[in-house]
């Protein structure tokens, strides 16, 4: 898989407070690693959307991540709200993850990244265009 890295995203990540930066960089690595393991993803493009680090594939839906000062103990993985992604994640992993409406997974800075649960979500997002017609995205 080809990864198109963004210097703008690298600079943006460096501006976050240290503990946030560490979590977002780990999340970035998880997104990249998951893309490498996801069938049909041949290229992952790192960019910014709405001033947030974002990841795009031809086969998937945009994935964004960010931390907000008004919720200092949380950081987020965002998905396009008019997809069935977050609703499906809620059905699959409602016991393991926290959600914000139909657009985000909310993560706690004090807790370890739930890598296995997030990998399942990221795989669906990275494959979304191929599975969006399937009931519950084929899970």
- Strands 2-4 and 43-49 turn out to be parallel
Residue 63 carries which DSSP code? E
pLDDT in tens, 47-62: 999 999 999 999 999 9
**Interatomic CA distance for residues 82 and 124, integer angstroms:** 15
Three-class DSSP category at 79: strand
Per-residue pLDDT of the chain (139 residues; tens, 9 = 90+): 999 999 999 999 999 999 999 999 999 999 999 999 999 999 999 999 999 999 999 999 999 999 999 999 999 999 999 999 999 999 999 899 999 999 999 999 999 999 999 999 999 999 999 999 888 888 8
**Tokens for 36?**
């490498």
The domain ranges of the chain are 2-128
The CATH number of 2-128 is 3.90.1150.200
């Amino acid at each position: 898989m080809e990864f198109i890295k963004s210097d703008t995203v690298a600079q943006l990540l460096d501006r976050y407070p240290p503990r946030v930066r560490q979590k977002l960089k780990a999340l970035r690595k998880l997104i990249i690693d998951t893309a490498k393991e996801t069938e049909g993803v041949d290229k992952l493009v790192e960019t910014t959307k709405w001033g947030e680090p974002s990841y795009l594939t031809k086969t998937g839906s945009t994935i964004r991540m960010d931390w907000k000062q008004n919720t200092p103990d949380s950081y987020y993985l965002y998905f396009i709200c008019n997809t069935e992604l977050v609703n499906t994640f809620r059905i699959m992993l409602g016991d393991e993850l926290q959600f914000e409406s139909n657009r985000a997974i909310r993560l706690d800075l004090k807790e370890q990244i739930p890598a296995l649960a997030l990998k399942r979500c990221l795989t669906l997002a990275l494959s979304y265009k191929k599975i969006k017609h399937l009931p519950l995205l084929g899970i």
